[in-house]
Amino acid sequence: MDLESFGNRLYRLRREWGYTQTELANKLGTTRGCVANWEKGRRRPRGKMERLAALLGVSEDYLNGTISLEEEMKRWDGKEFDHENVLDLSRLNAQQKQSLIDYYHYLIAKQEEYSVRNQIRARTEQEQAAAAAELEG
């Protein structure tokens, strides 16, 4: 069984979906502080677990840590979907599924790295512009 805590699992899933605490809180009709407390393990969501799980694309059981990732994936394997863009994981073996998950995590990490680089670049450009304006003024 996966020993990851609810808070850690929530934090990881929120980041994987690209939500800030504020964005997730707004979608749930709560505050950023509530989301922070959930992630830190200080509190548990009341009356919002179903919506939270749906927003993060997992079952409540997986989000609560009562089933492992493997069990969660098995639940999805047998389901039929109307939407044509949903991946059919049932044709993959366990190793292929894990490779897909690993690659997904790699892409998320690269996306975060790219975002950080862009923020640094923008900040540097602002500082250079401010320094140039100071020299001119």
Does residue 27 contact residue 55 with C-beta atoms inside 8 Å?
A: yes
Candidates 62, 41, 40, 60; CA nearest to 50 is 60
Is residue 44 within 8 Å of residue 9, measured between CB atoms? no
Q: How far is CA 75 from CA 83, 101, 113, 124, in A?
A: 17, 16, 32, 47
Give mean pLDDT, residues 34-58: 90
Section 86-115 average pLDDT: 76
Helices 94-136/69-77 angle, 10° precision: 110
89: pLDDT confidence band, cut at 50, 70 and 90? Answer: low
Going from the N-terminus, what domains does the chain have, and what CATH number goes with each? 1-68 (1.10.260.40)
pLDDT value at 7 more than 80: yes
